[in-house]
Amino acid sequence: MLDAPLIAFQQSVTLRLAAVAEGPVGREQLVDEVTGALKIDAVEAHGVIDELIAALPLAPDEVPGVRITDAGRELHGRTSGETAPVTGRIYDGIPAEDLAVAGRVLSLITERADDEPAALAE
């Protein structure tokens, strides 16, 4: 069990996306990734990014970009370390082939769900 919530879920996902980027990331690119991952609107994604900038895990970088700070990398490492045992237990014993099939199916379902608003608008 986690000792205490280190950051909110939306912040954690956003921080992870910044952490895995290779260097600074354009703010709009990060917003697009956050909206896709969390299924939230762009205004809310900008708000989460602003929260992380105010708390110092992210910093503005060459407008209009953002970068993860040393404090952000440390926080990301700590939260990843705290969740790793839980994740390990969840996936333990599931064959890699089954995980691959499940990943492909979930990706297809997500893609179709993402396309649905446009189809409804037609």
pTM value is 0.78
pLDDT-derived band at 4, boundaries 50, 70, 90: very low
Weakest-pLDDT range from 26-35, 41-50, 59-68: 59-68
Coil, strand or helix at 1: coil
Token reading at 47: 């708000």
- Residue 27 carries which side chain, given as an amino acid letter? R
Cβ proximity of 7 and 51 under 8 Å: no
pLDDT level of residue 64 (50, 70, 90 thresholds): confident
The confidence score (pLDDT) of residue 6 equals: 62
Sign of CA dihedral 94, 96, 98, 101: positive
* Residue ranges of E strands in 23-104: 25-26, 58-61, 65-68
